[in-house]
A and B are shown apart, each in its own frame.
Chain A
Amino acid sequence: SAVISQKPSRDICQRGTSLTIQCQVDSQVTMMFWYRQQPGQSLTLIATANQGSEATYESGFVIDKFPISRPNLTFSTLTVSNMSPEDSSIYLCSVEDGRVYGYTFGSGTRLTVV
């Protein structure tokens, strides 16, 4: 299966600032996915990122708050903009790994906003 490197692994940020999270995959993949996992909660899909087109956002998530880049088939970034303490979560990158609908996940970025 694909190997995903996600950076940073954790960060503590001031409210009002922005953080860009990077996701690097060791193989070319068509679709990349960004999830949020709030403390003690399950995973919620933020958006789907396809190379060469705009990301598709899920209900409750908007591009201005979570801009996504997908410059090639092995890389994507998610920016958490104008952060507030409510944005404190684990953010996870995921890709399809050859199994139908199966995903491989990165280790996540633990974000704390103070």
Chain B
Amino acid sequence: GESVGLHLPTLSVQEGDNSIINCAYSNSASDYFIWYKQESGKGPQFIIDIRSNMDKRQGQRVTVLLNKTVKHLSLQIAATQPGDSAVYFCAENSGGYQKVTFGTGTKLQVIP
């Protein structure tokens, strides 16, 4: 399918290594953050979320870190696998009921 990551920054990681994808958000009033994974030809898929009253949350092989002081969000993927190759978006709730704003995205390329 078509790639949605043609103009996005790319992170290349060796299979088995850990990946860290970073995101800067702009709205200090945002209180909820989500990471999405988008594979080629598919819609975004929810990975993990975090509220602003937390600074860390762990899932299966993934960890999200939130630094509200510098308005920075990161997604850590442990033991990166070829199936992790995709475009990753952070999203923030920036006002209004269930309205979220997406960040620019990062393309993760896993090298076998």
Contact = CB atoms under 8 A, between A and B. Distances in A.
Interface of A: 1, 4, 31, 33, 37, 39-45, 48, 90, 92, 94, 96-97, 99-108, 110
B5 A40 contact: yes
24 contacts: A39-B7, A40-B7, A40-B8, A41-B7, A41-B104, A42-B89, A42-B102, A45-B100, A92-B44, A99-B46, A99-B49, A100-B32, A101-B32, A101-B34, A101-B49, A101-B93, A101-B98, A102-B46, A103-B100, A104-B46, A105-B43, A107-B42, A108-B42, A108-B43
Residue among B5, B93, B101, B104 with most chain A CB within 10 A: B101
Given A40-B5, A42-B89, A105 B44 contact: yes
- Please classify the interface of chain B as helix (H, G, I), strand (E, B), loop, or mixed, using the class held by over half of its residues: loop
B41 A103 contact: no
A40 B8 CA distance: 6
- Please classify the interface of chain A as helix (H, G, I), strand (E, B), loop, or mixed, using the class held by over half of its residues: strand
Given A100-B32, A102-B34, A107 B41 contact: yes
Given A42-B102, A96-B98, A103 B89 contact: no
Given A41-B104, A107-B42, 17 more contacts: A1-B46, A39-B7, A42-B102, A42-B105, A45-B101, A48-B99, A90-B4, A97-B46, A100-B32, A101-B98, A102-B46, A102-B49, A103-B46, A105-B43, A105-B44, A105-B45, A108-B43
Interface in B46-65: 46, 49
